[in-house]
Amino acid sequence: MPNRLVGETSPYLLQHADNPVDWWPWSPEAFAEARQRAVPVLLSVGYSSCHWCHVMAHESFEDDATAAYLNEHFVSVKVDREERPDVDAVYMEAVQAATGQGGWPMTVFLTPDAEPFYFGTYFPPEPRHGMTSFRQVLEGVSAAWSDRREEVDEVARRITRDLAGRSLAHGGQGVPGEEQLAQALLGLTREYDERHGGFGGAPKFPPSMVLEFLLRHHARTGSDGALQMAVDTCEAMARGGLYDQLGGGFARYSVDREWIVPHFEKMLYDNALLCRVYAHLWRVTGSALARRVALETADFMVRELRTAEGGFASALDADSTDSTDESGRRTEGAYYVWTPEQLREVLGESDGRRAAELYAVTAEGTFEHGASVLQLPGGEPDDGVRERLLAARERRERPDRDDKVVAAWNGLAIAALAETGAYFDRPDLVERATEAADLLVRLHMDSAARLTRTSKDGAAGGNAGVLEDYADVAEGFLALASVTGEGVWLEFAGFLLDMVIDRFTGEGGTLFDTAHDAEQLIRRPQDPTDNATPSGWTAAAGALLSYAAHTGSEAHRTAAEDALGVVTALGPRAPRFIGWGLAVAEALLDGPREVAVVGAEDDPEAAGLLRTALLATAPGAVVASGRPDGDEFPLLRDRPLVDGKAAAYVCRGFVCRAPVTEVDRLAGELTPGR
């Protein structure tokens, strides 16, 4: 019999709707039930494409004996971290403070007042490798609750007090300058993996936000070292197993430092961020590899993640059924890995051997059971071989897709597709970006510009948007406005950014992840550091800064500068974890550069000027285009044609140059340093 999760829209929660565990969604009613029964709450947090979440669900939550014990001694609450990032952030901070590490599934035991007192992540069904079993944990927590209740309550109160006292105060730091950005670059250089690219050891995550900083820093200063780190890291990732050599798109992370074996889940946010990184890398270097990867990643998002409503789904699972496994079990990576024999079966003896050499598929294998993850260590892909292998792979059972549309991640996808489409003359990608933006306005945004975090199958979810939703959607709308010349997207971005100032901003310009009137948790979450995506804090700073350049709004520029105080504080000592803030700081130092392109809609000369403006690498540039003296963009006011010709007007720091009508002259005007 289904439990209370059956009425939810989250695919992750629905995966647990038929568990024998009597799950509750996060709700006041769940905690009221715990108070009425005088039992603790088990909070289990995960997401649909999390491999170890599936493992723990199968081992423990589908087990009748474990479920019976849970149902008798606890109120069990299941949370999708992608749907409720605020709940996840608050309790993950407690887990990390208590254990020194974090991850998912996250397992936390709470009092009926939602105060945490015991923490963990994955627990096995039986003791193994020094790990306590889940049943032992449950019995220990239940005994402590029954026999040492006062001690448990005191621990919970102390932890909650500690969390509540962690509010950040980075106001008054001043905006970051040359010195802080130079120190950040030096710190990154020290942590850089010169042999394999990227930063740190295993597991190794794609450093999308840091790469954007490196590209912008090179553009502004000419630093060869910054560019080389970006180039080498991007090539290593694109040639390794992290990148899907057949279908395009990137996996979540590499389990090794060489980028060979990925954790196979494919997330919308990673691919949106990396699509944009590779497009920006091509803009700087003209690299054929960067162009190929940007376009293949964009095509992957459209082909594999686009929903029927025009938005983009959250993720593809890591697991699927292995056709060679008679048990029918779902295993990690089964959809993606190959043996030499499988290559020969599809391609024949000669082409199979050649493909094995091209893609580094060996008899020993680089993954499990003699299978290999496809890499491209040298040379260029063979399109004919790739198409045949891709057709064969599509006959395998596909990984499940999480169809949940997350506002923030769709904002990232809109920006990536709009810019990639503009750079590479792919109007279809711009159309897909526009359709996703239309969906967000229609389904996620109400008449007061309040955002809903998620939707699924055309129905909005019940959870309010958080700071990253407002910031990333505004960023996507600003990119779309620049590419399409449709000022309505600038207007919508302004509505969202006004909400950031009014509802998410605290004393001294610090930012919170939830609005002033959001559900009150034991702590109001606040985090300026990047995780898999830019923090809402620094993403908001970037969107506020761009909007201010478009409109001349001092209020938005002041809000951006106040928010960037955190980069002054953290950039020099923790640059890997505030990469997007550093990238925004580069735009602050370089800009504002305002480019207004005026001309008829179908004028090829105007189109050439617009493309040149969009391809400018200057970090602080914003672009508006439209009819002469058009009213859709403030930057177009009082901007006539020049002798009847399309023209570009370039201003920087309150100084405007004479308009230009030739693309070469415009490119020169937009060279960083001028």
Query: End-to-end distance of the chain based on CA atoms, in angstroms?
Result: 69
On whether the CB atoms of residues 312 and 266 are closer than 8 A, the answer is: no
Distance of alpha carbon 543 from alpha carbon 531, whole angstroms: 18
Measuring CA to CA, how many Å separate 25 from each of 87, 103, 178, 519, 523?
A: 12, 20, 48, 15, 20
| DSSP letters spanning 267-302 | EHHHHHHHHHHHHHHHHHH--HHHHHHHHHHHHHII
CA 645 – CA 563 distance, rounded (Å)? 41
pLDDT at position 77 is 98
Digit-coded pLDDT (tens) for 55-73: 999 999 999 999 999 999 9
Distance CA 576, CA 383 (A): 36
Asked if residue 257 belongs to a domain, the reply is no
* pLDDT > 80? residue 37: yes
| Whether residue 362 is found in the same domain as residue 451 | no
- Tell me the per-residue pLDDT of 255-274, one tens digit each, with 9 for 90 and over: 999 999 999 999 999 999 99
Surface-to-core class of residue 636, CB atoms within 10 Å of its CB (0-12 exposed, 13-18 middle, 19+ buried)? buried
pLDDT interval class at 165 (50, 70, 90): confident
For residue 322, pLDDT beyond 80: no
Helix, strand or coil for residue 90? helix
Same domain, 434 and 573: yes
Q: Kindly report the backbone phi and psi dihedral angles of residue 595, in degrees, each rounded to the nearest multiple of 5, phi listed first.
A: -120, 120
Alpha-carbon distance values, 525 to 134, 163, 322, 470 (Å)? 29, 10, 41, 16
Tens digits of residue pLDDT in 107-145 = 999 999 999 999 999 999 999 888 899 999 999 999 999
- Which are the contacts of 20, defined by CB distance < 8 A and separation ≥ 6? 61, 62, 63, 64, 67, 68, 71
Q: What is the DSSP string of 537-565?
A: HHHHHHHHHHHHHHH--HHHHHHHHHHTH
- Of 600, 589, 595, the C-alpha closest to 622 is 595
My answer on whether 434 and 512 are in the same domain is yes
pLDDT surpassing 60 at residue 171: no
Q: What is the mean pLDDT of residues 609-614?
A: 97
Residue range(s) defining the domain that contains residue 375: 336-395
Helix (H) or strand (E) holding 427: helix 427-439
Least confident of 179-183, 289-293, 324-328: 324-328
Q: Which of 107, 110, 100, 11 is nearest to 61 (CA)?
A: 107
Instruction: Determine the residue type at 393.
Output: R
Of 346, 343, 383, 347, which Cα lies nearest the Cα of 360? 343
Are residues 71 and 127 part of one domain? yes
Report percent pLDDT > 90 for the chain: 89
What does DSSP assign to residue 642?
B
Please report whether residue 363 resides in a domain: yes
Lowest mean pLDDT among 158-162, 218-222, 362-366, 583-587: 158-162
Query: Within this chain, do residues 634 and 548 fall inside the same structural domain, yes or no?
Result: no
Stretch 361-375: mean pLDDT: 96
532 and 417 belong to one structural domain: yes
What pLDDT shows up at residue 674?
60
Average pLDDT, the chain: 95
Q: Are residues 100 and 112 in the same domain?
A: yes
Q: Which among 83, 73, 79, 76 has a CA at the least distance from the CA of 91?
A: 79
Q: pLDDT digits over 472-521, tens only?
A: 999 999 999 999 999 999 999 999 999 999 999 998 889 999 999 999 99
Domain end marker among 395, 421, 444: 395
Residue 60's Cβ-side half-sphere holds a number of Cα atoms within 13 Å equal to 25
Please give the pLDDT value at position 99: 84
Burial of 552 (0-12, 13-18, 19+ CB in 10 A): middle
Pair 433, 489 in one domain = yes
Write out the E strands in 55-176. Answer: 75-80, 106-110, 116-120
Q: Which residues share a beta bridge with 433?
A: none
Last residue of a domain, which of 377, 395, 413?
Answer: 395
**Which residues have CB under 8 Å from 387's CB, separation 6+?**
none
Here the CATH number for the domain that contains residue 525 is 1.50.10.10
Q: Do 451 and 479 share a domain, yes or no?
A: yes
Query: Cα-atom radius of gyration of the chain, to the nearest Å?
Result: 26
Residue 640 lies in a domain: yes
**Given this model, what pLDDT does residue 98 score?**
83
> Per-residue pLDDT for 660 more than 90?
yes
Same domain? 583 vs 470: yes
- Separation CA 222–CA 119 (nearest Å): 48
**Which candidate, 142, 68, 149, 147, places its Cα nearest to that of 109?**
142
Residue 239 lies in a domain: no
∠ CA 10-519-458, rounded to 5°: 30
- Domain assignment of residue 208, yes or no: no
pLDDT tens for each residue of 93-109: 989 888 888 899 999 99
Do 533 and 572 lie in one domain? The reply is yes
For position 109, what pLDDT does the model report? 98
Q: Is 150 in a helix, a strand, or coil?
A: helix
pTM of the predicted protein model: 0.95
- Gap between the Cα atoms of 358 and 361, Å rounded: 8
Tell me, yes or no, whether 213 lies in a domain.
no
Q: How many Å apart are CA 609 and CA 572, to the nearest integer?
A: 38
* pLDDT bracket for residue 320 (50, 70, 90): confident
524-582 pLDDT, tens digit each:
999 999 999 999 999 999 999 999 999 999 999 999 999 999 999 999 999 999 999 99
Q: Strands 621-626, 593-598: parallel, antiparallel or unpaired by DSSP? A: parallel
Q: Which of 561, 513, 514, 516 is nearest to 537 (CA)?
A: 513
- The answer to whether residue 169 scores a pLDDT higher than 70 is no
Instruction: With cut-offs at 50, 70 and 90, classify the pLDDT of residue 34.
Output: very high
- Is 121 within the bounds of a domain? yes
Asked if 592 and 202 count as a contact pair (C-beta separation under 8 A), the reply is: no
Among 674, 555, 673, residue whose Cα is nearest residue 221: 673
CATH of the domain at 97: 3.40.30.10
Q: What pLDDT, on a 0 to 100 scale, did the predictor assign at position 170?
A: 60
The residue among 590, 617, 636 that closes a domain is 590
Mean pLDDT of 609-629: 94
Q: Is 228 among the domain residues?
A: no
* Predicted pLDDT at 163: 85
CA 647/CA 227 separation, integer angstroms = 32
Going by pLDDT thresholds of 50, 70 and 90, the confidence category of residue 172 is: low
If one counts every other C-beta atom within 10 angstroms of the C-beta of residue 324, the result is: 11
The total domain count for the chain is: 4
Q: Is 148 found in the same domain as 101? A: yes
Cα distances from 171 to residues 201, 449, 470, 510, 544, in angstroms, run 33, 27, 21, 6, 17
What integer pLDDT is reported at residue 266 of this predicted model?
Answer: 97
